[in-house]
Amino acid sequence: MHWKLKVLTQFALSRLPAGEQMNYFLQTLHGSHSEANIFHRIGTIAKRLAFLCEQRTIHGTRVLEVGTGWAPLNPLLLYMLGATEIHSYDHARHLRLRVARRCVAALERAIPSLAKVLPVEAAALHRRMRPLKCASTLDELLARAGIIYKAPADACRSGVTDKSIDVFYTYAVLEHVPREAVIGLAKESARVLKPDGIAFHAIGCHDHYNGYGVSKVNFLQYPEWAWKLFVKNRISYHNRMREKEYLAIFRSFGAEMVAVQSLIDPSDVERVRQMKVDKQFKGMSAEELAVTGSIVIYRLAC
């Protein structure tokens, strides 16, 4: 029942004028923006970035990142990897100095483990972290990290010059936007990436309420009208798209896959086989539906 309460709470907040602020307050009470919680997330992101670094060095690159979020861990880690300029977009201005400082503190604590996972020495990480610690405002902190924060803004119309970006980057974003926005972002990546540039997408295709004891594919059974009514809102939007659909969209704009990592749990495959899934998923195999996480890296066809 806990997951249903969360759905209803977020549905109610989405209907209120100050719903975003109230959601942030509830997240804070829950500890979502605590330094301990932020520190816990660093390891997972670092592993994804290590995989990206196997395909393309980040040092000296210009990055376009979509979905800054409440805690700017991704743009800060890209800076620590040596990116010289990071254009970071969000639909709302979520960033706060308090949370950004917690990110800096958590990242400094994580340097020993980051140096073991990422292709950069601890001394370099400490050196890059030093100027961030004494920033007195959010704008100063972001500027010192080479982060150009644009919010509210539409990353589908980024405004950056054609063929000027080395890395087009999203992390836990594409599952939270409408299909039309996924198409728009794929199109924009094709416009802004340099001939040798790459796109990186870490996509959570799982049921985001599975932390409440339900299956990672449980949400596939609900009819689209109910999902649209209760979950597709400005607080908790989740599109339920499957990996197969994302790949088809990327390829339609000339993407050539460099690497695709698909997370599939055999128990989820069996669960899908036993489940009556919504009609929009008809025609997909149990294996296709059971992909609950995906890392996609692509280049553009010449």
| Alpha-helical regions (H) of the chain | 2-14, 19-30, 35-55, 73-80, 97-117, 122-133, 138-144, 179-192, 224-230, 243-252, 266-274, 286-289
Half-sphere exposure of 257 (CA within 13 A, CB side): 14
pLDDT in tens, 140-192: 999 999 999 999 999 999 999 999 999 999 999 999 999 999 999 999 999 99
pLDDT in tens, 26-80: 566 566 668 899 999 999 999 999 999 999 999 999 999 999 999 999 999 999 9
Amino acid sitting at position 87:
H
Amino acid sitting at position 63:
V
Pairing relation of β-strands 85-89 and 62-66? parallel
Q: Give the count of beta carbons closer than 10 Å to the beta carbon of residue 92.
A: 13
66 phi and psi angles, rounded to 5 deg: -110, 130
Average of per-residue pLDDT values in the chain: 92
pTM for the model: 0.91
Q: pLDDT at position 113, please?
A: 97
Report the sign of the C-alpha dihedral through residues 60, 257, 185, 235, in that order.
Answer: negative
> Which residue segments constitute the domains of the chain, with CATH numbers given?
35-300 (3.40.50.150)
Mean pLDDT of 258-273: 96
Q: pLDDT at position 1, please?
A: 44
Give the separation between CA 67 and CA 135, rounded to whole angstroms: 23
Give the separation between CA 42 and CA 111, rounded to whole angstroms: 10
